A = this chain, B = another copy of it.
Amino acid sequence: MSDKKYYCGIDLGGTKIYAVIADENGQVIANYKQKTKKSDDKSDQTTNAAETIIGRLTDCYHKVIENAGIDEDDIQSVGIAVPSSVDITKGLLKYAPNLGLENVPIAKLMKEQTGKPIFVDNDVNMGIYGEYTLGAGKGYKHIYGLFVGTGIGGGYIVNGEVIRGVNYTAGEIGHMVMKIGGPQCNCGRQGCLEAIAGKIGIINYMKKKTADGKTKTMLDEVAPNWRQSVGSSALSKCYEAKDKVVRKAIKKSAETIGIACANLINAIGVEAIIIGGGVVEEMEDIFMPIITENAKKYSIAGGAEGVAILPAALGDNSVALGAAWFTALPENKKFLL
């Protein structure tokens, strides 16, 4: 045991688990990654998905400490971010269908495994908290974060406090209705932001545009399976090559995200909006100007003046680092379990 203090953060994602160690300055000194699901998971799932996940989280915890070359005794606390709403008072993951998890007392189980104080929260909350404390949101107090991937997640901070909402479901801006009667969303409703502007929305728009069988897109060559799923880099490549279908889809996505930003500015008067997530990070130069232009255009007179609309700055680290750093700050001690 040294006199140094370190904090572990673990980002439990649908495809990978990503862990970091942060030092006392919020610097990432090591990371470790493994797949969330493995090829032999079928048998696991029928037995106990929660047990399997806890095993992997614990494995990541040990491996990232090993990578950092530090003494486990110097780890002060562990922050865990999960793709679910979380009752943070109990460290209880409520519902993560694509991990097969429901009502899992992550904090209790990980405390048994590590012996450390634990904090568990929603991944996007921790991502925006990371950006707020160490990234693009530094210096702002009233911030909304919008993370654009397959869907669109959000996180909200007022006066330095993460607003989780009465049911721990705040931040679901992906399901803000932007177009009543608009495109079908996976949630069963219509016109949700992510059904227009998330990768789901982008794909659906392109499917519609090419449905006549005559309209072609470069994606047919670059990413032949694009109708099922498409990487952000393939979209970026086709956009740069001036593919009309991709250009229109991306512009529509960015415009709609911009209007969603205006909705936040108009309704709650945020100081800063941080935009992150794979899709935007890959095409930042394309997305950010269109988002900013539309956020201004759709805000009421004077409303958007001085409002910062910024790309996220922490990249892949934001969620895990946010979770680690949340546990490091004295004002959050009361939340550790």
- Give A residues with C-beta under 8 Å from B: 85, 94-95, 142, 144, 154, 156, 158-159, 161, 163-173, 175-182, 187, 189, 191, 196, 256, 259, 262-271, 297-307
Contacts and interface: CB of A to CB of B under 8 A. Distances in A.
A173 B269 contact: no
B266 A175 contact: yes
A270 B181 contact: no
Nearest to A263: B176
B163 A269 contact: yes
A29 B51 CA distance: 64
Contact of A177 (B94, B178, B181): B178
Contact of A167 (B171, B177, B298, B306): B306
A163 B142 contact: yes
Nearest to A267: B173
B264 A167 contact: no
Contacts of A298: 175, 177, 189
B267 A264 contact: yes
**Closest 3 pairs (CB-CB, A-B):** A165-B269, A170-B269, A172-B266
Q: Which of A173, A182, A196, A268 has the largest number of chain B CB atoms within 10 A? A: A268
A172 B256 contact: no
A268 B268 contact: yes
Nearest to A85: B302
Contacts of A271: 165-166
A297 to B, nearest CB: 8
B171 A269 contact: yes
Nearest to A180: B179
Contacts of A161: 159
Given A163-B142, A181-B179, A259-B180, A300 B169 contact: yes
Given A158-B158, A159-B161, A268-B156, A306 B166 contact: yes
A328 B297 CA distance: 39
B266 A302 contact: no
Given A159-B159, A180-B178, A180-B259, A302 B270 contact: no
Contacts of A182: 179-180
Given A177-B262, A180-B179, A182-B180, A158 B169 contact: no
A303 B180 contact: no
A161 B158 CA distance: 10
Contacts of A85: 302
Given A177-B259, A179-B179, A181-B179, A172 B267 contact: yes
A267 B306 contact: no
B303 A169 contact: yes
